[in-house]
Every structure is written in structure tokens, then in C-alpha cells.
Amino acid sequence: KIPNALWANLIRERLSNVDCIKQGWILEGFPENREQAWMLQSSGIFPRHVVPNHVFLVEVFHTTFDWPSDPLVQQRLVKPEDLSEQEVSKKLLEYHRTFPEIFHIYQKVLKSINADQPSVDV
């Protein structure tokens, strides 16, 4: 387990690179709790938008229902070892337990997105 202060420092260092400054950045799955959110802020990292994690689950391709049409994308796809239905359910449960703490920290930049629709609309 990596200490929160180390995570914050690593993220701050990465976000100071030119590509992140010019093109922007997305932190997926972080912060996971209130302490991590405070560590980011104390490191000078203030996201302009925060989207609940469950929104990003729609970006996972499904071999039957959401297969990419681009052959180059198809060739790059790999099946994540930790993305079983049980593991996703576990992560969502943890997310719903900790998100209210994070919500208060980011309430001014939180974006609400309805992910219960086709991925192209999201």
C-alpha cells in the first residue's frame, strides 16, 4: 500500500509535465477517500471537473454489446485480470461508501453525468 502523501507527490510530479499542462489530464480512481482528496489539494492539485467513478465504467468495451468498430482499437484491447463482475461490484460498493466524503471537498466542481444511457450519449 502506497502512503497518500507519496501518491500526491507522484501525481503532482506527473501533472507538472508539459503534456499534462498542454493537453490536460484525468485522474481515474483517485482520490478514493477524503484524506487523498485533501492530500491532492495540499499538493496544489485542484481539478476543474470531478465526475463520479461509475461514469467511467461505460468506457469498458464489451465483446458482445459494445465492440469497437476500429480494427486498430480491437487489436489493442486486452482483458483486464481484475475486471470481473464481482470485482467491479466490490469497487462500486467501496465507491458508494466513500464518495460522500469526497463530494463535500469537490462540490463546487462536481459534474453530474447520467451514465445510464448509451455510451455515445454519455
Question: What is the domain partition of the chain in residue ranges?
Answer: 4-106
pTM over 0.85: no
Length of the chain, please? 122
Rounded CA separation 89/84 (Å): 9
pLDDT at 53 over 60: no
For the packed helices 85-106 and 34-42, what is the interaxial angle rounded to 10 degrees? Answer: 50
- Judge whether 62 and 118 are in contact, CB under 8 Å: no
H helical segments located in the chain: 4-15, 18-23, 34-42, 71-76, 85-106
pLDDT digits (tens, 9 = 90+) for 1-44: 788 889 888 999 999 999 999 988 888 778 888 888 888 888 88
Three-class DSSP category at 77: coil
> What pLDDT does residue 12 have?
92
| 58 band by pLDDT with thresholds 50, 70 and 90 | very low
Q: How many CB atoms lie within 10 A of CB 76?
A: 8
Say whether pLDDT at 115 is over 60: yes
